[in-house]
Amino acid sequence: SQQGEEDPQALSIQEGENATMNCSYKTSINNLQWYRQNSGRGLVHLILIRSNEREKHSGRLRVTLDTSKKSSSLLITASRAADTASYFCATDARGAGKSTFGDGTTLTVKP
């Protein structure tokens, strides 16, 4: 079964609003990453947060990590139509040597 699960599966907002996506996982991790995928294309890395970090920022992106709850959230502030994409979390489980992806959240930002 998948290590990470995103919530919600789909999210539709107006341009300028904030978008929040959540990711839950099952086992201990080294780090957690968020990726973005435009329709049918390759995934692009957005941000990485290590297991000893609680919050990280990159431009309009804010990621939090709560290892006690085994969950992470991705906040996109002041969303734009160009943010329309699917967003995936990926976890590197300790000693596993591989990244495991969740099912993704599909974000639609309406102009």
Partner 1 sequence: EAQVTQNPRYLITVTGKKLTVTCSQNMNHEYMSWYRQDPGLGLRQIYYSMNVEVTDKGDVPEGYKVSRKEKRNFPLILESPSPNQTSLYFCASSPDNSGANVLTFGAGSRLTVL
Chain CA centroid to CA 101, Å: 10
Nearest of 31, 26, 34, 35 to residue 2 by alpha carbon = 26
Residue 18 Cβ vs partner 1, minimum distance, rounded to whole Å: 24
Which positions from 4 to 43 touch partner 1 by CB under 8 A, shown as an x/- string? --------------------------xx-x-x----xxxx
Q: Does 48 bind partner 1 (CB under 8 A)?
A: yes
Distance from C-alpha of 44 to C-alpha of 23, rounded to nearest angstrom: 17
Quick check: 11 and 85 in contact, CB under 8 A? no
User: Six-digit token pair at 75?
Assistant: 């906040």
Binding status of residue 88 toward partner 1 by CB under 8 A: yes
- Contacting residue, 70, 102, 107, 109, with partner 1 by CB under 8 A: 102
User: What one-character DSSP code corresponds to residue 39?
Assistant: T
Q: Is 87 in the site for partner 1 (CB under 8 A)?
A: no
Task: Check: CB of residue 60 under 8 Å from CB of residue 78.
Answer: yes
Question: Residue 82, SS3?
Answer: helix
* Number of residues lying near partner 1 (CB under 8 A): 24
Q: Rounded to the nearest whole angstrom, what is the least distance from the CB of residue 100 to partner 1 in the complex?
A: 7
User: Which residues contribute to the site for partner 1 (CB under 8 A)?
Assistant: 2, 30-31, 33, 35, 40-45, 48, 50, 88, 90, 92, 97-104
